[in-house]
Chains A and B, each alone.
Chain A
């Protein structure tokens, strides 16, 4: 049981560090996916441990939402790249105050 949870925690931490440190929007996006999948792994692992399917159902929902999010997110990144010739998230900082 423990290795799955440890792996999930490792993947999540890698995702967090990636989101906080990388500036390329695509990489940040990938890191977010990494965190979502870490969450999925934890859900499935705990589901197996408790002998209940609730966690696995939750994981499916997360996948569906993640797929939708990827569609919308990539489209936004594409548009930003087309107008600004850049995928650097620090360049997109006008939305403040």
Chain B
């Protein structure tokens, strides 16, 4: 189990430190991801277990072990990360072929894989935090991979800083667990929520407390974890970094900012389900955040002309669905993970497809400069179409089943929650159809010197594999397989209700999808597309509101620091230095000047003596 993390980590370190490996960097990196995938497959047969690698640190009554825990939830994530990650490695061999820093790119990708695996295998929250920060670092390095572009460097910084805001939540949650439970082991924290062992303030006798529903502790932990999840998963209000993160190379967008890292927030909530089970307040907060993000991301998808930004908005929106399912509680957890897995496949597929299109179009990302690419790139078109059908939820593609399950759970929770989520599905169909039409259909709008061509085999094979997964992902839900598979981890609460309700929901979802897609076809499929920029009502970003305020506070603080504190603290030394500067002029090294000084001194003493005598 350690090996699954160690292999990519060792590979990353070797690729970064041994320059002789540069010519084979891409092969070593891809092999490392492949070996990890193989180990993940072997582990699948071995079942649940915990590995204690030793004590990480020990301070007072607090001991943190370097523990890895493998269970069914980790198992699914392992397969997603190493499987989709491996395919993206293969794709990157072709995509980054002309980049002279390709080996470094693969080192960072491996570093990311290792960190993400640490995150999902962590046996306690401190190790999880290590992985959490590790993926943040890898994300920063990869967004800013083309660091010569100021926009990429700025985007990397923005992602890093906004993620830190969320990380405060996770750090505080861990601190709270230390303070209240004295442990951060996930299993032990979970047992504390079953019944809370505490010392009463009056006697030495331990008392057995049962944590009440909606206790302040559970709500506080839940809200702090939600803050962390918002940062990592680009949920409102910390969503601003994800669109800018598209500055990174496209495989990065596919791997980190669509399939795996941004879903870490969903993983965190499902992994900490025992906390959310005890706080309906925190669950409601998760649902509200999720619904806002579903609509917000979908709205972004409708107005952007940049193909990667449309997909990024769509990622936000889809993660919103996962968060929604996670916020619903025990009935939703398996479906959050189910949608996460199918989304990982079809969104990675579409991002890589977008990369393939960009590859053929001279790195142009503006969809309005595309048009009718399906003829030039048949494989890319066909695989992208699979992802498209999956995300808008056309049966029998994977997205239909996973989104349907989320909607079902949402409607069961409350009618309006389900209704908003269904509207989100309609908008998803609208903007994805717009993307399809502008890119692959309508008329050619590209420049004369652009010659679209199909990408090399090394890029199309991963596309085909991911397209197959996008189509077949729905198989996971046959006989509620995924629900039973995850039952040991998150428990099982079947959604009661008549089958007719389910059919109604599926029907409503399909109607929503068809109407959204139809509207897009009416608006974009049947008329000439101009090359102008899409205009939309600009919505101020949260960072544009908060950052100026903080800047002013910072300016004020700096003023106080410069003219208040600095003057007080540095004033004394400065005065002494000035005085010394004056005094040392008297010590000029000239013997005659010293002699004069002595004479004057003698005269003064003599006159003083005479004055005293008389």
Contacts and interface: CB of A to CB of B under 8 A. Distances in A.
A19 interface: yes
Interface stretch (B174-182, B464-472, B590-598): B590-598
A93 B591 CA distance: 7
B584 A97 contact: yes
Interface in B242-290: none
A96 B589 contact: yes
Contact of A20 (B587, B588, B589, B596): B596
A92 interface: yes
Interface string A16-35: 10011101000010000000
A9 B188 CA distance: 100
B591 A96 contact: no
A95 interface: yes
Nearest to A93: B589
Given A16-B599, A20-B599, A97-B584, A89 B592 contact: yes
A36 to B, nearest CB: 14
Interface residues of B, number: 10
From B584, B589, B599, name the one whose CB has the most chain A CB atoms within 10 angstroms: B589
A19 B590 contact: no
Given A16-B599, A20-B599, A96 B588 contact: yes
A20 B592 contact: yes
Given A16-B599, A20-B596, A20-B599, A92 B584 contact: no
A97 B587 contact: yes
Interface string B227-254: 0000000000000000000000000000
B592 A90 contact: yes
A1 interface: no
Contacts of B592: 19-21, 23, 89-90
A28 B594 CA distance: 13
Nearest to B586: A96
Contact of B591 (A16, A21, A89): A89
A54 B590 CA distance: 37
B578 to A, nearest CB: 16
Contacts of B591: 28, 89-90, 92-93
Contacts of A95: 589
A16 B601 CA distance: 13
A94 interface: yes
Contacts of B587: 96-97
A89 B592 CA distance: 8
B33 to A, nearest CB: 66
Interface in B561-604: 584, 587-592, 595-596, 599
Contacts of B590: 89-90, 93
Contacts of A20: 592, 595-596, 599
Nearest to A19: B595
Interface in A69-97: 89-90, 92-97
Nearest to B580: A97
A62 B372 CA distance: 115
A89 B591 CA distance: 7
A90 B589 CA distance: 8
B480 to A, nearest CB: 88
Contacts of B588: 93, 96
A85 B559 CA distance: 59
Contacts of A93: 588-591
Nearest to B590: A93
Contacts of B595: 19-20
Contacts of A21: 592
A97 B580 CA distance: 10
Contacts of A96: 587-589
A90 B591 CA distance: 7
Nearest to A90: B590
A93 B588 CA distance: 7
Contacts of A97: 584, 587
Interface of B: 584, 587-592, 595-596, 599
Given A28-B591, A95-B589, A96-B589, 12 more contacts: A16-B599, A19-B592, A20-B592, A21-B592, A23-B592, A89-B592, A90-B591, A93-B589, A93-B590, A94-B589, A97-B584, A97-B587
9 contacts: A16-B599, A19-B592, A20-B595, A89-B590, A89-B592, A90-B591, A93-B590, A93-B591, A97-B584
